[in-house]
Amino acid sequence: MKVEDLRRENWRTNERLKLLASRGELLEEEYEQVVREIIKQVKERGDGALVEFTERFDGVKLTPEELEVPYEELERAFEETEEEVKRALELAEERIRVFHEKQLENAFFKEERGAVLGQKVLPLERVGVYVPGGKAAYPSTVLMNVVPAAVAGVEEIVMVSPNPGKYTLAAAFVAGVSRVFRVGGAQAVAALAYGTERIPKVDKIVGPGNVYVALAKKLVYGKVDVDMIAGPSEVLVVADETANPRWVAADLLSQAEHDELAASILVTPSEELAHSVLKELEKLLSELPRREIARKSLERFGTVFLVNDLTQACEVANLLAPEHLELVTGDPFALLPLVKHAGAVFLGGYASEPLGDYVLGPNHTLPTGGTARFFSPLGVYDFIKRSSVIYVSAEGFSKLAPYAETLARAEGLHAHAKALEVRRE
């Protein structure tokens, strides 16, 4: 894990900082042509292409009939899940649901003389949820992506996941998934976007994935909506001398174990804390089953930045716009007004980021790679759409039409003006 000193005036030119700031850029030239071909094949050959790619990329041989997981398997997975895991899934589902119910929007209507204006709020009819497989199982991702859709009132929630395991299927049962398909990668995204013989076309695709999934979502955007183009996970911890170095090290490792491209960053004005955290990292690494993944992640993107003070620490955080931002200081609430860009902000030593991954309630599907500058966490608002509602009486028309005609002629759109003029006549 590298240590970089930013205690100088031109700290923004630091090469390590610039590397981390550009980390979210996808390797499009390397992967895009492959993803385009996968999407093309799925569009043309449907389930046949899905079966072929599932065997080639995931090593799972299926018939087209086996792509869909029977709903009874979801129920059986839940029944066979250990009681403590069941209770954890149910508690998490409840807390996520209660939090997201606060995000529900209401329709409104405004009456004025001669007009009724308003907004109608409707849920999307069908959404697709991508749940990663491969290096780990993610039942928490199922809950975080499905529960807000269910709260919004989405009629059909279609989940895709490469070879989903017991806990993933149990979470799908708890969350209320409608249908599950054993397919992953760019081919799963293409199937959701265009539909195949068995997988229905959806209105929106949500959920994290690898670079192939992210690029596929980017390429099908416009045919369907997507939540965001997510990259590898990241955490940035702003800490002072009051922080517990073992706790900070543990939180840094919680992201590093995701994959080799994850980023774990500590920003602190305390050299003593920095060195203590590095020592604790080595101790904790030796205890991790996934230590090789975590070690490679720390070698590539793990960084300790030394800064002059906590104000500069927040400037560094805003520049990187991290997915997860932890403020582990004597008075974390005092720093909150300085935070401009972060997917989620965790305040204090006990607000450990992994707690937010599972049971706190706010969504853990967050913008990565600096996109917290313009993306928000996944929420109910991602699963609704709005329609404007407009009624105008003759009285209201006569009051407003002359102004509209004036603007239409100013724009040179005479048919617009004529549509108003014929009514006034």
Per-residue pLDDT reduced to its tens digit, 304-317: 999 999 999 999 99
Average pLDDT over residues 85-101: 98
pTM for the structure as a whole: 0.92
Measured CA to CA, the distance from residue 62 to residue 7 in angstroms comes to 57
Instruction: Give 195-236 pLDDT, tens digit per residue.
Output: 999 999 999 999 998 889 999 999 999 999 999 988 889 999
pLDDT of 149 over the 60 cut: yes
* Confidence (pLDDT) at 210: 86
C-beta of residue 356 within 8 angstroms of C-beta of residue 364:
yes
Confidence of residue 28 (pLDDT cuts 50, 70, 90): low
Q: What is the mean pLDDT of residues 272-280?
A: 97
**From the DSSP assignment, how many helices (H) and strands (E) are in the chain?**
17, 15
Which of 100, 258, 324, 364 is an active site residue?
A: 324
Ordered by where they begin, the domains of the chain are: 2-24+232-361 (3.40.50.1980), 28-230 (3.40.50.1980), 393-424 (no CATH)
Surface-to-core class of residue 165, CB atoms within 10 Å of its CB (0-12 exposed, 13-18 middle, 19+ buried): middle
For 224-239, b where at least 16 C-beta lie within 10 A, e where not — what string?
A: bbbbbbbbbbbbbbbb
Examine the residue annotation and report whether 364 is marked as an active-site residue of this protein.
no
Q: Is pLDDT at 189 greater than 60 in this prediction?
A: yes
- Is 83 labeled as catalytic in the residue annotation? no
DSSP letter at 272?
Answer: H
User: What's the pLDDT score for residue 407?
Assistant: 97
Residue 242 — pLDDT band, cuts 50, 70, 90?
A: very high
Candidates 93, 323, 326, 405; catalytic one: 323
Q: Average the pLDDT over 406-410 and give the result.
A: 97
| Mean pLDDT computed over every residue of the chain | 95
Reduced to 3 states (helix: H, G, I; strand: E, B; else coil), residue 414 is: helix
